Amino acid sequence: MLKRLSFLCAALLALTACSQSGSDNGASPQPAPAQTSAPAAPASAAKPAPASTAPAPAAASTAGTASSSAATPVAASTAAQKPSAPTEPFVDNGKWVEGKNYFTIEPAQPTGIPDKIVVTEAFSYACPACNAFHTTADQLAQGLPSNAAMTYLPVAFRPDENFPLFQRAYFAAKALGVADKTSDAMFDAVWKSGELASDDLTTGRPKPQSAWPTIDDVAKFYAKYGVDPKEFVAVANSFSINTQMKRADDMVKAYGVDATPTIIVNGKYRFTPGDAGGYSQSIELTKWLIAKEAAGK
């Protein structure tokens, strides 16, 4: 009985997600099919980190009405990957239900990669649910069929959890060519070593904002990977990075993303792991939506 209770507790912890509403609990509301209103976040191309295999609904956060400029996902970045899965035929057996397991984005958004079906993960390094899911996201990226590509969109809609810092850090790392190879390490720096944590990892409670990591702390992290700290800070605070962050926020609103992690397929569909029913189901649903797009259904 004690073992069963321990397992149930672990499963409940895995359901925790990052919500814009400020409540990081697993009971994230199902996203509405269109756009909502709230703060947005940047696109990050990071390799997902270790995740649990239990179902984990993404945290709910409301996103603002999309502007017409939020079209091409310049904020998203294509991760280095080797698609190995075969293209699957589209079969609708009634398993996946629109409005329950996935939601249509209205209007559909251009992806900027016209020759691929683009899969995007909206996430934040500071989101515990994203940390739990990122190994699964990595598996998803590596198992995509050759007609699909993976991109990442970091969000900033939880300033109370220091999300904007990590959005800025991601874009600076991307500009300096180190984002992809340092993604796992960045998750670890937040959730394992705690060197970039905004929460006290021993208590699970937020630190006072005066103790939060800063862009200078992030620069010291990237110095381990050959980046000059002064150059990193200068790039991070540049007009170019500010523009990319704004565009990423527009994209989040256009997609109607209100929880992290959220998967977006070809700018037309979105869902959270909770909507899909779990981690493995998220991979299955993504591939089904890719097949649906490829079939023109």
Is 3 within the bounds of a domain?
Answer: no
In a domain? residue 27:
no
**Residue 142 resides in a domain:** yes
Distances (CA, A) of 210 to 112, 188, 213, 259: 39, 22, 9, 26
Q: Which helix (H) or strand (E) element contains residue 260?
A: strand 259-260
| Other beta carbons less than 10 A from residue 104's beta carbon | 14
Q: Is residue 38 part of a domain?
A: yes
247: domain CATH number? 3.40.30.10
Position 75 in a domain: yes
Q: How many distinct structural domains can be found in the chain? A: 1
Rounded Cα–Cα distance for residues 253 and 244 (Å): 14
- On whether residue 91 sits in a domain, the answer given is yes
Residue 132 forms part of a structural domain: yes
Q: What is the pLDDT along the chain (297 residues), one digit of tens a residue?
A: 444 444 444 444 344 567 776 544 333 333 333 333 333 333 333 333 333 333 344 343 333 333 333 444 444 444 444 545 666 778 888 899 999 999 999 999 999 998 999 999 999 999 999 999 999 999 999 999 999 999 999 999 999 999 999 999 999 999 999 999 999 999 999 999 999 999 999 998 999 999 999 999 999 999 999 999 999 999 999 999 999 999 999 999 999 999 999 999 999 999 999 999 999 999 999 999 999 999 988
Give me the domain span that covers residue 69.
33-294
Would you give the end-to-end CA distance of the chain in angstroms? 48
Predicted TM-score (pTM) of this structure:
0.77
Is-contact 152 120, C-beta < 8 A? yes
Residue 51 is assigned to a structural domain of this protein: yes
